């Protein structure tokens, strides 16, 4: 019997979709098998799918709400989905993040037994066929840690939280406020005080920062596990990193690549790092290693350039029409 229902439940799951394909079907199957007593409510907000995603969701028993694709916004659309849901705890997933066992939702919801917790997020694993370079990057992200972490600045004391935040170095601020809507959850009462910002990108870390500065807390839950990765693409990664580092500078003051000189001087060492990484991959043939090393050379350049330009975009877009055009071009479709 499926655990999914469109009816009100104490636990809800909210998923924004657009042409989710077969991967979304795998996600629905994993959700149907969740061992949640009494089941959970599934809310899907679809932005114009034409591949059967809506029909799959309805057949699985979800409450489906449709919006025009032009209205999609990472923060606003998630707020719509949560607003349609009933749960005191609402779990958020992307359409391609598949729970790895039947205990996923129960493990994530258990974080709220601690009344201090405003939000919680899960551990992510790359898919088995994930590209080796991307798999390494995912392993470095905070959502791949093995131990649970309660993230806070000063629980219940916004003034002290702000003072602590200001004391931290930029990357320390980022790690303190990490939150990832690939596989996350929020307490409804916390979301009512702090809805997601209307953001085209990075609504999750923006929310994490706001909640912690208000004296709240976020729990990382490694026992809640999802499988999630995308095929690597230099163009896709450039756009994602550009937008990511635009946000990271705005929110935390992070500038990982501050000058063109750092782009040039870091290109060779980063290429060498990826070459060593590929040499250590026992599952790759020599021909595959050579192919990925050629790719890694240009990926390393795009990676550094995107981080450099993304952080600079805050003031450069005010300096010229070209920069405004370039910024809009890169952001389109992210």
pLDDT in tens, the chain (334 residues): 899 999 999 999 999 999 999 999 999 999 999 999 999 999 999 999 999 999 999 999 999 999 999 999 999 999 999 999 999 999 999 999 999 999 999 999 999 999 999 999 999 999 888 888 888 777 776 667 889 999 999 999 999 999 999 999 999 999 999 999 999 999 999 999 999 999 888 999 999 999 999 999 999 999 999 999 887 789 999 999 999 999 999 999 999 999 999 999 999 999 999 999 899 888 889 999 999 999 999 999 999 999 999 999 988 888 889 989 999 999 887 7
The string over 304-325, giving b where at least 16 C-beta atoms fall within 10 Å of a residue's C-beta and e elsewhere, is bbbbbbbbbbeeebeeeeebee
Of 227, 252, 281, the position where a domain reaches its end is 227
Indicate the angle between helix axes 203-213 and 234-252, nearest 10 degrees.
20
Instruction: Give CA–CA dist 108/99, Å, rounded.
Output: 11
Helix, strand or coil, per DSSP, at residue 59: helix
One domain, residues 84 and 112: yes
One domain, residues 203 and 314: no
One domain, residues 129 and 260: no
One domain, residues 191 and 166: yes
In the numeric block, which tokens belong to residue 23? 């991967």
Instruction: Give CA–CA dist 299/216, Å, rounded.
Output: 38
Rounded to whole angstroms, what are the CA distances from 57 to 4, 68, 95, 115, 294?
10, 17, 11, 33, 41
Rounded to whole angstroms, the maximal C-alpha distance in the chain is: 60
Confidence (pLDDT) at 257 = 97
Of 201, 227, 253, the position where a domain reaches its end is 227
245 Cβ contact partners less than 8 Å away, ≥ 6 residues apart: 254, 255, 256, 306, 307, 308, 310, 311
In the numeric block, which tokens belong to residue 253? 């003051």
Backbone region of residue 126 per phi and psi (left: phi > 0; alpha: psi in -120 to 50; beta: other values): beta
Instruction: Give CA–CA dist 97/88, Å, rounded.
Output: 22
**Into how many domains does the chain fold?**
2
205 Cβ contact partners less than 8 Å away, ≥ 6 residues apart: 174, 177, 178, 179, 180, 247, 248, 251
Q: Helices then strands (H, E): number in the chain?
A: 13, 10
Of 175, 207, 227, the position where a domain reaches its end is 227
One domain, residues 301 and 181: no
CATH of residue 43's domain is 3.90.550.10
One domain, residues 246 and 111: no
286 Cβ contact partners less than 8 Å away, ≥ 6 residues apart: none
One domain, residues 194 and 87: yes
One domain, residues 139 and 270: no
One domain, residues 243 and 217: no
Confidence (pLDDT) at 171 = 95
In the numeric block, which tokens belong to residue 179? 């939150």
One domain, residues 213 and 239: no
One domain, residues 259 and 214: no
One domain, residues 212 and 244: no
Residue 140 belongs to domain spanning: 4-227
Confidence (pLDDT) at 143 = 67
Residue pair 125/228 in contact by the 8 Å Cβ criterion: yes
DSSP state of 256: S
């Amino acid at each position: 019997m499926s655990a999914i229902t469109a009816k009100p439940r104490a636990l809800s799951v909210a998923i924004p979709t657009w042409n989710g394909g077969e991967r979304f079907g795998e996600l629905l199957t994993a959700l149907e098998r969740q061992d949640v007593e009494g089941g959970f409510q599934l809310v899907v907000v679809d932005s114009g799918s034409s591949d059967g995603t809506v029909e799959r969701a309805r057949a699985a028993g979800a409450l489906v709400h449709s919006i025009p694709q032009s209205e999609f916004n990472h923060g606003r659309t998630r707020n719509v989905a949560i607003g349609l849901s009933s749960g005191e705890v609402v779990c958020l997933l992307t359409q391609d993040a598949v729970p790895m066992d039947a205990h996923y939702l129960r493990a994530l919801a258990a974080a709220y037994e601690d009344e201090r917790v405003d939000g919680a997020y899960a551990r992510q694993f790359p898919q088995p066929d994930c590209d080796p370079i991307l798999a390494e990057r995912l392993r470095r992200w905070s959502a791949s840690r093995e131990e649970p972490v309660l993230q806070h600045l000063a629980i219940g004391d916004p003034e002290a939280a702000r003072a602590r935040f200001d004391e931290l170095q930029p990357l320390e601020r980022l790690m303190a406020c990490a939150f990832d809507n690939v596989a996350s959850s929020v307490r409804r009462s916390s979301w009512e005080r702090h809805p997601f910002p209307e953001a085209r990108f990075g609504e999750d870390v923006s929310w994490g920062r706001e909640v912690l500065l208000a004296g709240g807390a976020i729990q990382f839950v490694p026992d809640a596990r999802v499988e999630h990765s995308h095929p690597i693409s230099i163009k896709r990664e450039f756009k994602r990193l550009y937008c990511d580092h635009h946000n990271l500078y705005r929110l935390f003051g992070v500038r990982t690549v501050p000058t063109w000189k750092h782009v040039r001087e870091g290109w060779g060492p980063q290429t060498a790092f990826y070459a060593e990484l590929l040499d250590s991959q026992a599952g790759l043939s020599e021909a595959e290693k050579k192919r990925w090393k050629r790719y890694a050379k240009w990926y390393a350049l795009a990676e550094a350039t995107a981080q450099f330009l993304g952080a600079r975009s805050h003031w450069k877009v005010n300096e010229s029409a070209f920069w405004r055009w370039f910024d809009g071009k890169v952001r389109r479709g992210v």
